[in-house]
Chains A and B, each alone.
Chain A
Amino acid sequence: MIPLSAYVAVSAVLFTTGLIGVLIRRNFIIVLMSVEIMLNAANINLVAFSHYLESMAGQIVALFVIAIAAGEAAVGLAIIIVVFRGRLSTNVDELNLLKW
């Protein structure tokens, strides 16, 4: 029997990987991919607790997280396309349109 803490540890490692990806990458699309890694880490956590605490709530919330990830990907990629059309770049350092 695998202990719950093993799943939580895997989820923590994946979350840290995604966080580092958001912080160090310059390409906006890869930053969005790192956000997907973090959402997946959260899903592992939810499903693991759902299994070990014998409740269905975790799996339901994980489904909602997947739906929100789909919406986030669609809107985020649309924003990337709009920005790329004006500047021909997806570098996050050059995106300072909203800075004042």
Chain B
Amino acid sequence: MVLFFFVYFSLVSIVAGVFTIAFRNPVHCGLALLTLLLHVAGLFVLLNAEFLFAVQIIVYAGAILVLYLFVLMLLNLKTEQRYLHTRHAIILFATAGIFGELLLLLLQSPFSGAKGDAPAVAILQDGDSFAVGIKMFSDYLLPFEIVGVFLLGAIIGAIVLAKTPTAVDAEQE
């Protein structure tokens, strides 16, 4: 059953990723990206990360994607005739060859390392949100605060960039 869901989520997310970069109309690309984000959220459930599943749907599919679609509607872009760079296609073939080699090596390696202190049984006892919260507000408190300052800077930067320049000119005159 888990295998079936893994195959479904991974296949649909890969196909949706290819559609995101292949569709001609930008709104269709946005909808393909939505499909990808929801199926990646499904992969998080299979990995016992229920809190990240909720965050992925609320923040990515709910906020970031709506922001993208909002800007697409605001700009009212014409669908372009030539929307791909085709001159460098040979580089893509070389990239695909290197990637295939990488994948071959990847599937052969065993990936073992030092185990941490949070086995699946311990996480499932109190729930994933509990485990994430305890860890984030004890060991990772400083990075958490830094991310807060970073988001404040991003908000101020976005407001300053998107302000209409005509308003400043009217003030000076």
Contact = CB atoms under 8 A, between A and B. Distances in A.
Interface of A: 1-2, 4-10, 12-14, 16-21, 23-27, 29-30, 32-34, 36-37, 40, 43-44, 47-48, 50-57, 59-60, 62-64, 66-75, 77-82, 84, 90-91
Interface of B: 2-3, 6, 10, 13-14, 17-18, 20-21, 26, 29-30, 33, 36-37, 40, 43-44, 46-49, 51-52, 55-56, 59-60, 63-64, 67-68, 71-72, 74-75, 77, 80, 82-86, 88, 91-92, 95-96, 99, 102-103, 106-107, 109, 111, 113-120, 123, 128, 131-132, 135-136, 140, 143, 147, 150-151, 153-155, 157-159, 161-162
Given A30-B26, A71-B150, A40 B36 contact: yes
Interface SS of chain B: helix, strand, loop or mixed?
A: helix
B111 A9 contact: no
Given A24-B21, A36-B64, A50-B47, A16 B117 contact: no
B157 A78 contact: yes
Contacts of A9: 103, 106-107
Contacts of B117: 54-55
Contacts, number: 219
Given A14-B13, A84-B75, A20 B21 contact: yes
Given A7-B43, A25-B84, A68-B150, A77 B67 contact: yes
A53 B132 contact: no
Given A67-B150, A68-B150, A56 B131 contact: yes
Contacts of A57: 116, 135
Contacts of A1: 2
